[in-house]
Amino acid sequence: MPADVLLKGMNAVHRVILFVSRGKAGWQVGPMPVVELTTTGRKSGQQRTVLLTSPVQEGGTIVLVASRGGDDHHPAWYLNLCAHPRVTVSVKGGPTEVMIARTASADERARWWPDVVKAYRGYASYQNKTSREIPLVVLTRAE
């Protein structure tokens, strides 16, 4: 399973690609837009930012996958938004929006999971690697 240092390293490399290309590369991975998600640390209270892909978008709703590469533990960003659901999001380097995060219901997950796997087949293998159900996170605009 991926170590925290590996995941942070991958995010750092992704940021270098964005910087070196002046944003011309790195904001799209296959059919998925890249989202910059900022959460509030559940223990530290500090702002934490991570780059993620979003396999599903419906109107103003953004869906993220808390897979952590199929690890048996949830990613830190997911634990953070569970504790503090008010997050900021930038899609493809666009304007930052305040959004509210929640875990998808069982019905929502059942409806979206085929689209998630269609966007990136690796999510199916991640789910097979772990005994935990990989959560889908639903982001909606804050009112």
The domain spans of the chain are 4-141
Which residues have a Cβ under 8 Å from the Cβ of 99 and sit 6 or more positions away? Answer: 62, 86, 87, 88, 89, 139, 140, 141, 142
Total Cβ atoms within 10 A of residue 62: 24
Q: Contact, 138 vs 63, CB < 8 A? A: yes
- Domain 4-141 coded CATH 2.30.30.100: no
What's this model's pTM, rounded to 2 decimal places? 0.84
Answer for the pair 66, 137: CB distance below 8 angstroms, yes or no: yes
The whole-angstrom separation of Cα 58 and Cα 8 is: 29
In a structure prediction context, what are the per-residue pLDDT tens digits for the chain, which is 143 residues long?
455 555 555 655 545 555 555 556 556 667 778 899 999 999 999 999 998 999 999 999 999 999 988 889 999 999 999 999 999 999 888 899 999 999 999 999 999 999 999 999 999 999 999 999 999 999 999 97
